[in-house]
């Protein structure tokens, strides 16, 4: 029984945004001799200059929820329509946008440097929207929302942009027969029955996404959805079972955990 396709608006919008900017930003430094006493220029809205804090920034409350409860589905539900994340480009005047609830894309914005301050301006109306306050190299406040910077470049090809891979899955595990399995922050999986890549789902606003899921595939192994849960120091991976079907379209509308597939204890 086939599952409904999950071409979420969230993923397509963010992949488009990634084409405009590098999510790493680690090679862009604060310009030498920069000072916080410079005054605003009369043509600052046209100033094309590097942004030293470029990268993928994710809502701090969401990250905290994922780390504590280890359920991306529950974390998304708890967050509602918050500003989930934003890609800060390598330089000013390059379009970007917030993603709300890891599902909907916001209006196009550009980063503008106004004297010592960086601001987000509406690309269409050319009006200031929010001031960016960098509290540390890894923590940033935009309006009333706080964001943390991903330590590694976001993976625009992954369902989760590398967020859950880095925050939740990354590390080494042991199978029930003693084999070491590694999930990397770049979406690779090693030592698990020939699977070579994985992608946790971050947007659950669709049918047949009733439990936390990840997709795994490898040479000769087509992409397959699995259910998962973390219990203490173990990652439990399940086959999915369909509990509600659309017989006319031969698709599954609702799923639940099926048979246990892997029990992986974190090393």
66-125 per-position pLDDT tens digit: 999 999 999 999 998 899 999 999 999 999 999 999 999 999 999 999 999 999 999 988
What is the model's pLDDT at position 156?
57
Residue 22 has pLDDT above 50, yes or no: no
Q: d(Cα 112, Cα 103) in Å, to the nearest integer? A: 26
Average pLDDT, the chain: 86
Query: pLDDT higher for 34 or 256?
Result: 256
What is the model's pLDDT at position 37?
35
Query: pLDDT higher for 108 or 35?
Result: 108
How many helices and strands, by DSSP H and E, does the chain display?
Answer: 4, 19
Residue with tokens 């000769």: 220
Residue with tokens 């990397």: 184
What is the model's pLDDT at position 153?
60
- 41-45, 120-124, 223-227: lowest mean pLDDT where? 41-45
Other beta carbons less than 10 A from residue 260's beta carbon: 12
Query: Which residues, listed in sequence order, are joined to residue 119 by a DSSP beta bridge?
Result: 112, 131
Residue 42 binned pLDDT confidence (cut-offs 50, 70, 90)? low
What is the average pLDDT across 227-254? 97
Q: d(Cα 197, Cα 6) in Å, to the nearest integer? A: 18
Cβ neighbors of 52 (< 8 A, separation 6 or more) are 25, 28, 29, 30, 31
What is the model's pLDDT at position 244?
98
3-state secondary structure of 68: helix
* Phi, psi (degrees; rounded to nearest 5) at 63: -60, -45
pLDDT digits (tens, 9 = 90+) for 127-150: 888 999 999 999 999 999 999 999
pLDDT digits (tens, 9 = 90+) for 151-185: 866 555 677 989 999 999 999 999 999 999 999 99
What is the model's pLDDT at position 149?
97
What is the model's pLDDT at position 72?
98
* Phi, psi (degrees; rounded to nearest 5) at 62: -65, -45
pTM over 0.75: yes
What is the model's pLDDT at position 73?
98
Q: Distance between alpha carbon 143 and the CA centroid of its chain, in Å?
A: 20
What is the average pLDDT across 20-38? 39
Residue 11 has pLDDT above 90, yes or no: no
What is the model's pLDDT at position 220?
95
Other beta carbons less than 10 A from residue 201's beta carbon: 24
pLDDT digits (tens, 9 = 90+) for 185-217: 999 999 999 999 999 999 999 999 999 999 999
Are residues 214 and 71 in contact, defined by beta-carbon separation less than 8 angstroms?
no
């Amino acid at each position: 029984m086939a599952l409904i396709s999950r071409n979420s608006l969230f993923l397509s919008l963010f992949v488009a945004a990634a084409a405009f900017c590098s999510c790493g930003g680690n090679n862009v430094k604060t310009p030498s001799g920069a000072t916080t006493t410079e005054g605003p220029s009369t043509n600052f809205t046209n100033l094309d200059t590097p942004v030293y804090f470029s990268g993928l920034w994710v809502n701090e409350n969401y990250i905290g929820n994922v780390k504590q409860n280890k359920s991306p589905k529950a974390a998304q539900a708890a967050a509602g329509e918050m500003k989930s994340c934003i890609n800060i480009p390598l330089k000013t005047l390059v379009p970007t946008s917030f993603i709300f609830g890891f599902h909907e894309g916001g209006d196009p914005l550009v980063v503008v440097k106004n004297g010592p301050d960086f601001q987000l301006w509406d690309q269409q109306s050319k009006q200031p929207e929010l001031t960016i306050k960098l509290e540390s190299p890894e923590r940033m406040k935009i309006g009333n929302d706080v964001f943390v910077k991903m330590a590694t470049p976001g993976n625009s090809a992954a369902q989760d942009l590398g967020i859950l891979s880095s925050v939740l899955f990354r590390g080494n595990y042991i199978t029930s027969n003693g084999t070491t399995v590694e999930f990397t922050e770049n979406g690779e999986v090693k030592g698990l029955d020939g699977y070579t890549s994985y992608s946790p789902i971050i947007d659950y606003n669709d049918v047949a996404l009733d439990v936390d899921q990840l997709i795994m595939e490898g040479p000769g192994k087509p992409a397959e959805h699995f259910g998962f849960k973390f219990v203490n120091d173990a990652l439990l991976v399940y086959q999915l079972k369909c509990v509600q079907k659309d017989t006319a379209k031969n698709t599954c509308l609702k799923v639940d955990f099926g048979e246990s597939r892997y029990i992986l204890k974190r090393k």
